[in-house]
Structure formats: C-alpha cells, structure tokens
Amino acid sequence: MRILFFGERLAPPFDEGIKNVALNLLRQWRQGHEVLALTTEGADLPELGVRNLAGLNRLLSDAPLREAIRAFGPQRIVYLPTASMTFPAFLRAEMLRRHGRGAPVTLIALQPRRQAFWQRLLTPVIAPARVIVQSQQSAALLAYLGKRVQFVSAGVDSDRFAPASPAEKLRLRRHYGVDVAAKVLVHAGHINRRRNVSVLAELQRLSGVQTILAGSASTPQDSVLVAELQAAGVRVITEFLPHIEDLYRLADLYVFPARPDMPAAETPAIEIPLSVLEALACNLPVVATCFGGLPALFDGAADCPIQFVESATDADAWRSAAAQALAAGARGARPLATRYSWRRMADAAIED
C-alpha cells in the first residue's frame, strides 16, 4: 500500500509524545508499505522517508504540497496534527484528501479539543474516513461523527523498553551517578507547571528517595521551575537523553503527576502518555493521576499496574501512594503494557 503521512514539525530530537508517535508509526509502515512522509517546519529525514516542505500555509492549500502528494499517488493518507482534533485540523485533513484525489484519510487525535457549536455542525461534512482518539473523553466529544471515531491506544517498543537485571540496574546507576542505595523515582516530560512536576519536590522529602526529572529538550523549559526543583533536591536533566530507557531501567518507581482537570486547550500531555507505557514495559510500578485514557487502559485487569492519585495537588496523597507502590513492587506490569503495540496502532490507521 502507498501511505502518505503528514505531520507538523517532524525533526530531532524525538523527545515528546506527538513526534514519537509519528516516529514509531513510520517505522512500522516502512516494514511492509511504500511510505512518503511530509512535514512543514521540520527537517528532511531520509532514513524515515520524511521530506520537509517549509512555509506551507495553515490550510495546506499550497501547490508544492499538492504536487508532491499527487506525484506519489497515495492509497491511504494519515494526518497527525499538532493541534489535535480542532476544526482547522479537520479542514487540513480534507485538503489532504483533495490533494490525494479522494484517498481515504485517517486523522490521529492525541489530545481532546472542544469545538464551537457551528464547528460541530460543519465538521461531519469534512470529517475524514477515520478518527483515532486516545480516551473515552475524546471519543465522547466526537460522538456526533458516529462509527468513524475509534479508540486505539498508542504503543510501546517492548524490545527497547525492557526490565533490567539487578546487575544491569547497578551498572546503570553507577554510569549515571545515581545513589545505588536510593529508592529512585522518575518522571520524563515537559518542564512546565501544567505538568505538575512540583510533586517531585514533595516526593523528594521521603526518606531514602532520589527523584529525577528528564525534561524534553525540544519544548520550552521553565528555568524558574528547574531552579525550584533543584533546590528541593530533585535531579533535573534538561538536555536530550537519547537512551531514555536507561532512566526507567535504573529506577524503582515512575511518577506521572500531570493534572487531568486542565482545560482541553491546555492539556499537558497526550492522553496515553508514552512514558507511562514505557515505564510499565520496564516492569516499573507507576503512580499517576487519572489522566486522559489511562484509567480505561487497564480496566478489567486483575491487578492494575498503576496506582491512581485522585487529587493532583495533595502532597500527602502522593507521598502515601509512592510509599505503597514502592513496597508493592511492579506486580507484573510488563505484560499488561506490551499488549499495546505500535503495530496495532499502525494497522488500525490504514485498515479499510
């Protein structure tokens, strides 16, 4: 199958959710299909088949884009908008369909967005053949599109993200200068207050604990927040960490504190945070808020690998949950995480 992929700002480093979803989907499709990936405000990445078309207008009506798509002749188009499921994103999906001479389009929406009443009236007219979402909340917001909306979780690379043996864990701690005797709590993601990473400073107060924050280098970092966390004893990594899996493999607990109650336009992460799946695949216990699609992801599991904290701002609740999770251990987290594969999402995006 000839698959055209379009996404904005595809360029290294791949250290945040939207770009990493694109990266993993492209790797899957390129194993058995002919793929052309186009981006704007990004970079040429020949190893992934990505071409950067700089300066495209917001509607994607540019002739160079139309010519590139028609020369390729796609049988399926997949659009991963940074803006998620906004009305302009649906307009751009329709423009991609027209450039592709009617090839069916799948729009992948990684975050919830609300639409005005008039936009909900017009969206069904231009909606693509399929919209993949990451939570029941987003599915409900698009319920008026009917069966075109499908919940398919993002995935995890189970080969890259795997548990460390005790000896490997010790080696990694020494390599990164982490106390071999400490209980290590980790979070990876954006360094901003919407992410609620100040929780790490509270957890640092637990006896024998070292908290580590690995920040995204490709997104803005709050330098004042960095200084506050460092003053509290949190180790903050602000540069790109190419082997983020090492951080999970040397840790004892993963913490995901992003607030689930933020307005849709200010969502602090994609609704299935990749870092949570990656940590679970490394067999780490996880303490998290009831964020996005996470509560439904393991619904019905006999022993849920995530301990949820109801209040994102209750410091005592976070410390109590972390202590309990550390005492309980991983509880077989890996098998529950690895059932969510990138192949599953990649196939769902292009199926008839």
Q: Domain extents for the chain?
A: 2-151, 166-338
| Strands of the sheet with 2-7, listed across from one edge | 50-52, 34-39, 2-7, 76-80, 105-108, 130-133, 149-151
Q: Say which DSSP state 111 is in.
A: S
- Residue 80, helix vs strand vs coil: strand
**Whole-number Å distance between alpha carbons of 71 and 81:** 23
Residues of the chain whose pLDDT is less than 70?
300, 302
Distances (CA, A) of 68 to 52, 73, 99, 100: 11, 9, 9, 10
Q: What is the pLDDT of residue 262?
A: 86
Q: What is the pLDDT of residue 191?
A: 96
Same topology, domains 2-151 and 166-338? Answer is: yes
In CATH, the architecture of 2-151 is 3-Layer(aba) Sandwich (3.40)
Characterize 289-304 residue by residue with b for buried, 16 or more Cβ atoms within 10 angstroms of its Cβ, and e for exposed: bebbbbbbbbeeeeeb
Q: Within a 10 A sphere around the Cβ of 48, how many other Cβ atoms?
A: 16
Residue 4's nearest CA partner among 82, 80, 56, 84 is: 80
Q: What is the pLDDT of residue 300?
A: 66
Q: What is the pLDDT of residue 203?
A: 98
In CATH, the architecture of 166-338 is 3-Layer(aba) Sandwich (3.40)
